[in-house]
Structure 1
């Protein structure tokens, strides 16, 4: 039931009205679909790619930490623990949980398999908010420019930057992707 196709439908149901956020999610999902089609990533990563920003849906947002809110919804809906863990912990969520005082709540979510989390982080960091393709360094700079320094997002991404870039690099190596990937991929 929680195939990438099903995940895309759930994501569309909750996020398609969110403009740029939906464009970002669609590109992340499509990139994952391309990698899954050649057997490069697991079904859990492909589904999580579509669902990673689900917690931005207004009706699902309860804590303000989108990764946690999306994962909590997915857990309640019976999504596989691998998908729930990936959504909960994607793209440095542990740092934002610390900033928001939600460390315990995040720790109650299933863990994510590290190499799969690296892949999801790469997919997230090569996709700009409008769905265009970018590179992890530019994406991180864009996030930091979008949020004021007082924001928990800005503070957490500033703290996580080195780890996020290392995560993306590990995923590229694991998947055998060139540094310029995904230019032209989507």
Structure 2
């Protein structure tokens, strides 16, 4: 009986040894390679006729939080809209926006609980050039329209600050009149930014 017991112990030891060697062999490279992630396409997703369509990315079928950066599109579109305003005529002269010299801020699209929300915060500096007739003499005018930080839904509170580039060429009363005239750009600028907001909401 003692011999049988020794034989059983030997077989048990060999069995454990084989099992251990098999585990090592699998871990050393014989196992299947790990799956490689790939981007889903709309064709990869089987439509579920029982559930409503979700917003956002294909992978986000649950409609949970997802944020998309729209800065590049928004900055380009704001500049396109504002430089398309054209020339404004005043009692003493005319002027136009020649360039958007600063258009800094952020725009985003957020999808949360399968609902879309957009927003932005920007500040602008617009270069203007024009010509005024002052005491029967035509003078070139250059300056800037500075628009402090504004956000989505706040266009009714939009403000424009006017800064002339060559103030020394004008008397104080002339500067006041030119600045008053240039503030009339507020209305067309606000209209263009309203258009931008509508396009942003449809993005």
TM-based fold match above 0.5: no
Greater relative contact order (CA < 8 Å, ≥ 6 in sequence): 1
Larger radius of gyration: 2
Greater percentage in strand: 2
State the TM-score, normalized to the length of structure 1: 0.29
Greater percentage in helix: 1
State the TM-score, normalized to the length of structure 2: 0.27
